[in-house]
Structure 1
Amino acid sequence: MVPASDFSLKDRIALISGASRGIGRALALELAARGAHIIAVARQSAGLEALDDSIQSAGGTATLAPLDLHDMPAIDRLGAAINERWGKLDILVANAGILGPIAPLGHIEAQDFEEVMMINITSQWRLIRTVEPLLRRSDAGRAIILSSGVAHRARAFWGAYAASKAAVEMLGRVWAEELQQTPVKINCINPGATRTEMRAQAMPGENPETLPTAEEVAARIVPLTSPALTRTGKLFDVRQNRFVDYHMPD
């Protein structure tokens, strides 16, 4: 069951990667509106500054953390910096990712494949590792990992991206199992087709007006940050607006 949407996040600290645009930006604005202090992570400072302006104009607060996810030691230092300033983290939204080439597997350049794996998997693991002690210090730590529908069905030419999303989902599921006896709740999200720059890059001929906006998608994801959430280790399908249980073999 999805928690009610009318809840406060006052005095909670939320880290959002890929916060400068798309679903990450929309989630940052939603969480800030509920009272959370946003630690906004993205590579482009200009996008972060525009986000900060929007958050402040709505009465919220944010700390900007320009960070290139290629820089693994910098990800490690992020956790230390959060610990020094706040001593805990209440919400993680692992949203940042790249599409990579849409091409036959045999045609993908090695460096392009490795780039997708570095950003979509390795950097996510580094992020998980650096924030886990901080989430454990929260009375209701919540982690959301953005996945994709292509993690669950074989789709020609989407091999690199699909493999990376299947892998990051498994990271999230294993992490949830490891922390099952703690207050931390960890779930993956399939946002579905959304009106974002990445979607336009993947589907250049598609009419974006036929897709839900990032703000509409974010509004359905936000309840998973609620302190009242009880589900963990699940996949939340935004289009169906419900949790989808993974099928576990006997």
Structure 2
Amino acid sequence: MIKDFEGRVALVTGASRGIGYQIAKQLGERGAHVIALARTVGGLEDLDDEIRSAGGETTLVPLDLTDFDALDRLGAAIYERWKKLDIFVANAGMLGVLSPIGHISPKDFEKVTAVNVVANWRLIRSLDPLLRQSDAGRALFLSSVHASTCTPFWGLQSISKASVEAMARTWANESLKTNMKINLADPGPTRTGLRAKAMPGELATNLPTPDEVAADLLPLLMPDVLETGRLYDRVSGEWIQP
């Protein structure tokens, strides 16, 4: 295995399953020290076992993204230990209900926006100074086609992911004079539990697996990436203009 992320410190949210798990695993296998954040302790422990068996190192952070005070403390803890952060992958997200906008309950709306939008904003606040200390800070936010298509009944995804896209691009434009590159990626349909919940009748065997998707996204985290403030469409393999 090529250790092309040797010496890099990477934080991955939603690292206990799906695409986040595989991105974290592949980063760890390729030399990065992975800070793996998720609610599910069992999934994090499985990830730790896999990375350590490949000779890598992890720091597990079992945390609910709506614990905003803990997200603030996370940046300070990373600084204490490493003084920097090289990679931030904002993978964690919540689907929410599929419903006409007028039928979404305030509780569901607030819960999804708390996880998909507010938590990522709190993480930006916490991690921005650390990424600026890296020689090549890289941040990647996972988005969705629904951010632009505004598909009927997918309002929570459309609204929250469009907000994430605007937030990431704003951060990128504010960071043009730094070493940071901040981008978005639409992984496309993937064989995950989240996808199965949203599309229960779909033939999942026709979809790429999370490890295949992760392998396609990992190059976006390399120091030689020059794009910033843009969206990468994994299916087409092309950068999409904002």
TM-score w.r.t. length of structure 2? 0.98
| Aligned counterparts of 2:3 and 2:21: Cα–Cα separation in 1 | 20
Within 5 Å, give how 1:125-140 maps onto structure 2. Answer: 125-140=121-136
**60, 66, 69: which one pairs with 2:65?**
69
Alignment correspondent of 2:162: 166
Moved over 4 A (4+): none
Alignment correspondent of 1:142: 138
> 2:144 matched to 1:155?
no
| Paired residue secondary structure (2:149) | coil
Letter in 1 for 2:167: L
Report which stretch shifted further, 101-110 or 119-128.
101-110
Does structure 1 retain, via aligned residues, the 8 Å contact 2:3–2:29? no
| Aligned counterparts of 2:13 and 2:39: Cα–Cα separation in 1 | 9
In the TM superposition, what is the alpha-carbon distance from 1:7 to its structure 2 partner?
7.1
| Paired residue secondary structure (1:14) | strand
Does structure 1 retain, via aligned residues, the 8 Å contact 2:144–2:186? yes
Higher relative contact order (CA 8 A, sep 6+): 1
**24, 49, 56: which one pairs with 1:53?**
49
Does structure 2 retain, via aligned residues, the 8 Å contact 1:7–1:226? no
Alignment correspondent of 2:98: 102
Taking every aligned residue pair, what percent have the same amino acid on both sides? 54
In the TM superposition, what is the alpha-carbon distance from 1:57 to its structure 2 partner?
1.1
Return 5+ residue gaps in structure 1 as ranges. Answer: 1-5
Alignment correspondent of 1:3: none
| Aligned counterparts of 1:244 and 1:154: Cα–Cα separation in 2 | 17
| Aligned counterparts of 2:208 and 2:122: Cα–Cα separation in 1 | 31
Letter in 2 for 1:233: G
Alignment correspondent of 1:25: 21
Deviations 1:29-65 (A, max 9, x none): 1111210000000011111001101111111110001
Does structure 1 retain, via aligned residues, the 8 Å contact 2:3–2:31? no
Letter in 2 for 1:147: S
Equivalent pairs, count: 241
> 2:70 matched to 1:79?
no
| Aligned counterparts of 1:156 and 1:139: Cα–Cα separation in 2 | 43
> 2:235 matched to 1:239?
yes
| Aligned counterparts of 1:126 and 1:204: Cα–Cα separation in 2 | 33
Return 5+ residue gaps in structure 2 as ranges. Answer: none
Alignment correspondent of 1:177: 173
TM-score w.r.t. length of structure 1? 0.95
Change (3 A) 1:7 1:53: closer
Q: Report the aligned-residue RMSD.
A: 0.9
| Aligned counterparts of 2:95 and 2:136: Cα–Cα separation in 1 | 32
